[in-house]
Amino acid sequence: MTHVGQPVTPAQAPVADAEGPSTWKDVVGAYVGLTKPRVIELLLLTTVPVMFFAARGVPDLMLVVWTVIGGTLSAGSASAYNCVYDRDIDEQMRRTRRRALPRHIVTAHSALVFATVLAVVSTAVLWWGVNGLSAGLSLGANAFYVFVYTMLLKRRTTQNIVWGGIAGCFPALIGWTAVTGELAWAPIVLFLVVFFWTPPHTWALALRYREDYANVDVPMLPVVKPAREVGRQIVLYSWVMVATSLALWPIGNLGWFYPSAAAILGAVFLVEAHRMWGRTRGTESLSEIKPMRLFHHSNLYLSLLFVAVAIDPLITR
């Protein structure tokens, strides 16, 4: 499988360095790397603010601590499982060839045990320190990411991150249930915001690394469709995402701060999405399309939107 630009054969793909650990710090760093800390940061940014929203103020700080610990361990477990299953293609991709398994710092068996221990401990922490519903949702998100996205969808369909991205939407539900012990429409709306945010975010990154995905036959949308079509779909998802974010205002009974922030952040995001789509006209050149601008902007958008969710109850009560 190749993308719409110049084909890249598997022979051209870089081979991961075969090296072992030199110090205990290498081993510790490798295990930490298996958890994908940058991903965890983003997931926590969609968990903790929702706890402030659910509490309509400052939640119990020990509850926040237990939720953060359990959520971190659960997300780390899912990422480690993903690294084990994808170690074959990670060796061939420039973006991932420096991970622990391709470098042979950690064995697949050790990583699998590590991921399982994290899953068990995270479920126990959330069950004991938070509540059973939050623990169940966290375990469900972990299982969905591993079995549905990683093992079933990722290598089979261009819709892999659309439906596989559901796993990344669960933190909004977990943050809410940690405080209230039950589900409601407001966290479901936030769940949907993350759901519609995931394709623009991930496809922008996939555009940048489409040769990597093409080399390993992962059918990300930018691999099988021209950049123009990818840009069009990014714009469509972006509009739905912004509309969904504004729906939280009446459903969540929020004050003036959140809708103001959501409108401004959404307008800026839509401008950036349309600009990237415009740059795809007549070209497949990444230097002209600049997909990473939208990728980095998407991280900022989601972070600030959820911060606004947390701040609104504090200043508009």
pLDDT digits (tens, 9 = 90+) for 275-288: 999 999 989 999 89
Output the six-digit token pair for 106.
Answer: 């950690």
Query: What's the average model confidence in pLDDT over 3-22?
Result: 42
Say if CB 80 and CB 56 are below 8 A apart: no
Mean pLDDT of 113-128: 97
- Confidence check: pLDDT of 305 > 90: yes
Domain presence at residue 226: yes
Nearest to 244 by CA among 169, 294, 156: 169
Determine, yes or no, domain membership for 196. Answer: yes
Q: Residue 264 domain-assigned?
A: yes
Backbone angle region of 217, left / alpha / beta, with phi > 0 → left and psi within -120 to 50 → alpha: left
3 lies in some domain? no
Question: Is 219's pLDDT higher than 60?
Answer: yes
Q: pLDDT band at residue 210, thresholds of 50, 70 and 90?
A: very high
Residue position matching structure tokens 């800026």: 268
Query: In 3D, which of 234, 232, 214 has the Cα closest to residue 224?
Result: 214
Structural domain tally of the chain? Answer: 1
Q: In the block, which residue shows the tokens 């991280």? A: 299
Average pLDDT in the 56-64 region? 96
Would you state the pLDDT for residue 26?
Answer: 81
Model confidence at 83, pLDDT cuts 50, 70, 90, reads very high
State the pLDDT at residue 21: 46
- Within a domain: residue 6? no
- Average pLDDT score over residue span 257-262: 97
Domain annotation covers residue 256 = yes
Helical pair 170-180 and 61-85, crossing angle rounded to 10 deg = 150
Residue predicted with more confidence, 3 or 228: 228
Q: Specify the pLDDT at position 22.
A: 58
The residue range of the domain holding 149 is 22-315
Instruction: Report, as an integer, the average pLDDT of 51-69.
Output: 96
Does residue 12 surpass a pLDDT of 50? no
Average pLDDT score over the chain: 91
- Type of residue at 227: A
Q: What 3-state class would DSSP assign to 257?
A: helix
Residues with Cβ within 8 Å of 178's Cβ and at least 6 positions away in sequence, in order, are 51, 54, 59, 63, 67, 130, 131, 134
SS3 282: coil
pTM of this structure:
0.90
6-10, 37-41, 143-147, 250-254 — which is least confidently predicted?
6-10
**In the predicted model, is pLDDT for residue 1 greater than 80?**
no
Residue 134 reports pLDDT greater than 60: yes
| The residue type at 145 | Y
Burial class of residue 292 (count of CB atoms within 10 Å of its CB; 0-12, 13-18, 19+): middle
- Note whether residue 7 is domain-resident: no
**Cβ atoms of 255 and 276 closer than 8 Å:** no
Q: Is 313 left (phi over 0), alpha (psi -120 to 50) or beta?
A: alpha
Q: Which residues contact 165 (CB under 8 A, 6 or more apart)?
A: 149, 194, 195, 198, 199, 202
Nearest by Cα to 15 from 126, 91, 70? 91
Contact indicator for 46, 165 with CB cutoff of 8 Å: no
Residue 175 lies in a domain: yes
**For the residues 265-283, what does the mean pLDDT come to?**
96
